[in-house]
Amino acid sequence: AAAARTAWRPLLLCAAAAASGALCTPYRLGPYLVSFQHWQSRSDMAAHIQEWHPMAFGNFFHWPFWLILALFVPALARGWGRARRSAPWGLALAGLILGFNSLLHARLAAYFATVALPLVFSLTGEVPVTRALKRAAAVAAVIVTAFFVWTLPARSWGGFFDSRYIPQRAAAFLEASRPQVEGLRLYNEWEWGGYLAWRFSWYKVFWDGRYLFHDRLAQAGAASREGASAWQKWMEKQELQGALMHNRAELFPTTKLYKDKTTKGFLRPWYLQYMPRQLWALVYWDEKTLFFMRRDAAPADWLAAHEYRYFLPRDEAAFAEALRLGEIPAAALAAEKLRHQ
């Protein structure tokens, strides 16, 4: 017992030095407070941030985690059964904590793998190297290599950002419109903030992946779920003058009243409710993004030259009906199509 206490003393001293070391930085208790804030808001982050979602069998990028977990559990059982005193139980405890939390939040899987794999090799190091074991290792190597090759097309090799998930073309429009948008309070989707801040030195992101924006996620999510009216009130509260948003394939039912008093139903895009035309003008769109400007925040001549009034995304049914009835001026429509091309 005395020897065990002696062995723990340097570890406790190291832990105390590490814990107090943060107090010697300009942030003082900041790192601990941020960790506590993450723990408090873990359910909100899990609801709104993809990497905080639970591990999923349906995501093939998560499959290596399940393989490592399948190796970790029996290795841990073997260590408990045969080498209780010599096993690295500190590492095992870390693996258990990180493994459990990885099941809840996928972002922790990388930390679990860093701890679990050394532990697996440590606890299985005394296994006799038989011919069957060599064959099993060879088969495993082939499977891992095949998995890596299979996932190559899904990987991004273009640099810091994957072009499939960032608004590259919309960012080019923002750059061209810098005199009109610089200095305005602009909304951007949470996951685009890091890219926009990286690309533009002058752009003030509404939010990005940093912890100080986490409380806004729940507020914006609640406003979006409650409906168009709640969303508009939230936008007003944030004093937003522009918005770079997802071009989502969400529709809502509307009814058109004809001159003969008959009616017909149409499904129209969500933004017509959430971003009403009397307040917001759609000045850019592509298959991924929509960019709106408040009418009272943009120069009138610039707005007239860039607004889409007729050629709108995901509004094909109502657009075709308006064309049939001659409700869209041909010259204005042709100009919008040409500008969009």
Q: What is the pLDDT of residues 309-334, one digit of tens each?
A: 999 999 999 999 999 999 999 999 99
**In this predicted structure, what is the pLDDT of residue 245?**
98
Report the pLDDT value the prediction gives residue 151, as an integer from 0 to 100: 85
* Distance (Å) of CA 49 to CA 14, 54, 72, 207: 35, 11, 27, 13
Those residues with Cβ within 8 angstroms of residue 306's Cβ, 6 or more apart along the chain or in another chain = 177, 281, 283, 284, 339
Q: What pLDDT was estimated at residue 163? A: 84
H-type alpha helices, 49-108: 63-82, 89-104
Considering the entire predicted model, what is its pTM? Answer: 0.80
* Over residues 34-44, mean pLDDT: 83
Q: Tokens 């899987």 identify what position?
A: 109
Q: What is the mean pLDDT of residues 193-220?
A: 90
Q: Which residues have a Cβ under 8 Å from the Cβ of 85 and sit 6 or more positions away?
A: none
- Residue of 108 and 45 predicted with greater confidence: 108
Asked if pLDDT for residue 37 goes beyond 90, the answer is no
140 vs 268: which has the higher pLDDT: 268
Of 97, 209, 108, 232, nearest in space to 161 by CA = 209
